[in-house]
Amino acid sequence: MSRERVAIRPRSGDPSRRAAILERARRRGFRRFVLPAHPPPVPGPGETVLREEDGRIDTGDDSPELPIARIDSEEELAREVERTPPGGTLVVEWTADRVIPLENAIAARGHRFSLWVIARSPSEVPGALGALEHGADLVIVDLRSPEEVDALESLVEGPLPAHLAWVDLPIVRLGPAGLGDRVIVDTTSLLRPEEGLLVGSAAGFLFLVTSEATGSKFSRPRPFRVNAGAAHSYVLLADGTTRYLAELVAGDAVLATQPGGGARSVRVGRIKIERRPMIVVTADDAGVARTVFLQEAESVRLSTENGPRATTDLSAGPKVHGVRLPPARHLGQTVEETIEER
């Protein structure tokens, strides 16, 4: 649910408060706004500003202004859908029920026109973006305080990392690492067998630990699960920052990816930390040792050149898939500094 499909409409009657909402939203990376037509708003670099006046939205191009249709009945919705021309845009504001009417509007829309929806608060945004899987084309959300920008940011996704530098590194050794606290990450999405999370002991290289979508002879497939590794390990989040596995909480957005392929944001449903026998896998990165600590079990798999391989079936020699990242981090954010991690 990308913030690229969200436009912020400051609604405070205090001009200084509206300015504070706008300032915080810009700092948090939001780039689409609906602002009063007077005084004429000035968009910043890379921003899209829609102008609103007397219940109509001006997109700033040669298209006609878009009236905001206030919908409180099935009949009104049907009339608005019928009068929206092919290639046009319908802007709706619900005055009563909002979920079922939106689903009806999406079903009626098909690919015939664009559907914009006004959300009365940040809490309504996820439902508007995800209804019938596709959601509205644009959600205009009313914000009344700078603090609501923070709430909105926690509910919508930022852009995924633009580029992941995939490399294959040979395993040079592995061995037992005693008992350790390992972290299972259960997501709210179903993952494919080749998908997983990027995890490692140092941010400079993260190994791809794949999901339990395949299962084993004695365990059922759990495609929502990644047995990700030791508590101290870094994991790559959907916004490109890192966090320690033990710090993940329900609702966090982590990056699910596969070797050289696409990436997507998935949400953490829960984490489960238990003490289990661990192994340490060491790969050679041009003379630099890269390590990951994983539970020793048939259902825990690393992505290798031979496909996902269980930690009980690993040996020195095969290459593992992973991603190189800038090594220096401060609270998960990339920073420029001299650093050595061993």
pLDDT tens-digit readout, 205-227: 999 999 999 988 888 999 999 99
What mean pLDDT do residues 303-321 have? 95
pTM above 0.75, yes or no: no
CB 81 within 8 A of CB 55: no
Does residue 37 sit in helix, strand or coil?
coil
CB-count exposure of residue 180 (10 Å: 0-12, 13-18, 19+): buried
Both tokens of 208, joined, read 């791809």
Instruction: Count CB-CB contacts under 10 A for residue 99.
Output: 12
Closest alpha carbon to 257 in 326, 164, 186: 164
What mean pLDDT do residues 100-105 have? 91
Residues in CB range of 65: below 8 A, 6 or more apart: 56, 57, 58, 59
The residue with greater pLDDT, 333 or 284, is 284
Both tokens of 236, joined, read 């790559």
**Does residue 60 have a pLDDT over 90?**
no
Which pLDDT belongs to residue 340? 64
pLDDT tier for residue 318 given thresholds of 50, 70 and 90: very high
One-character DSSP codes across 230-253: ETT-EEEBTTS-EEEGGG--TT-E
Closest alpha carbon to 204 in 336, 328, 327, 337: 327
Average pLDDT, the chain: 90
Residues in CB range of 195: below 8 A, 6 or more apart: 210, 211, 213, 256, 257, 258
CB 257 within 8 A of CB 178: no
In eight-state DSSP terms, residue 85 is P
- Render pLDDT for 151-165 as a digit per residue (tens, 0 to 9): 898 788 767 776 888
For the chain, how are helix, strand and coil distributed in percent, rounded to 5? 20, 45, 35
What mean pLDDT do residues 23-30 have? 87
Which pLDDT belongs to residue 330? 45
Give the lowest-confidence range in 15-19, 62-66, 125-129, 232-236.
62-66
What mean pLDDT do residues 40-57 have? 90
What mean pLDDT do residues 100-104 have? 91
Alpha-carbon gap, residue 151 to 147, rounded angstroms: 7
Q: pLDDT > 70: what percent of the chain?
A: 94
